[in-house]
Each structure stands twice: as structure tokens, then as C-alpha cells.
Amino acid sequence: MKFPHVVLFEPEIPPNTGNVARLCAATGVELHLVGRLGFSLDDRQLARAGLDYWPSVKLRLHVDLPTCLASLPESRVICFSTKGAVNYDLIEYKPSDCLVFGPESRGLPDEILARHGELVARIPMPAQAVRSLNLSSSVAIGLYEALRQLKAW
């Protein structure tokens, strides 16, 4: 069975990326790191968050988002953003989907959201007490919904 891809566009915080890497190792999902990273891949915090699971991570690095998406020509792009118009759980996920998440401090740029506007998902925050959820929490919510729908277990 094919699995969705997780794409982190310009992630900034090493422990978040390490947690996402561990999640990808646990689910067998490829992790794509795109653009300028806010840390070095040999960062201690990144390694610590990923624990000893790094050998199990299917990691791909890309210089920019167009290059990343070109390497996944059969993938449909689903962006996650607080600006999304559709709840993440109302999307009908497909095995080759590409779940794209933006940097912690600013989210995905408006031009990326506009390019993929028909599929910009949001994760509801009913209390409206925060601007956004933690990146690794958002990835876990979105990815597990996709895997649940795909009956990946």
C-alpha cells in the first residue's frame, strides 16, 4: 500500500522536526524537508527528539517546494494552515497525498496556499486561545486522520 508523504516547508525548531521524524518512522511515511532549515541536521536537539529511530526514517531533502512536488508527480497537495477553509477530517485522503506543513513562526506563505487553495485544511481550535497548534501535533493529527481513512493498520 502507498502511504501519504509528510512535507515540512522550512521547519525552524529541531525538536518539532525530530518528533515528526519519529512519527514518520513509526508509520512508514516518507518525510520531506524543504528549503532553508532553521537548524543543522546534526543538531543534538533534532537527534534527541528522534531518539534512535533515525535509521528508520525515510528522509528526503529538497531545495524548494517545486522541486519536492516535482519528485512526487502523482501526489495531490494538501496544505495545512490556520487559514484553511475545510476541516482536515472532511477531506477524503488518497494514498499518494502530500501533506504540507509550514514553519512554526509563520505557517505556509500565502502564495503556496493560493496555489493549492482548493485543498487547504485546518485543524479546529474551538477555544481560540492560541494562534496555532504545535507543528508536530498538527502533523500527527493530519497524518493519523489520513492513515485512519486509508485503513493503514
CB 116 within 8 A of CB 22: no
pLDDT in tens, 125-147: 988 888 889 999 999 999 999 99
Containing domain of residue 121, as a range? 5-149
CATH of the domain at 114: 3.40.1280.10
Is the pLDDT higher at 51 or at 72?
A: 72
- Number of domains within the chain: 1
Instruction: Tell me the pTM.
Output: 0.94
Q: For 25-60, how does the pLDDT look when each residue is reduced to its tens digit (9 = 90+)? A: 999 999 999 999 887 877 677 667 656 778 889 999
Q: Which three cell numbers stand for residue 107?
A: 505557517
Output the pLDDT for position 66.
96
Q: Which long-range contacts (CB under 8 A, 24 or more apart) does 125-134 make?
A: 125/82, 131/82, 132/82, 132/107, 134/16, 134/104
User: Which one-letter amino acid corresponds to residue 75?
Assistant: S
Q: What is the pLDDT of residue 47?
A: 67
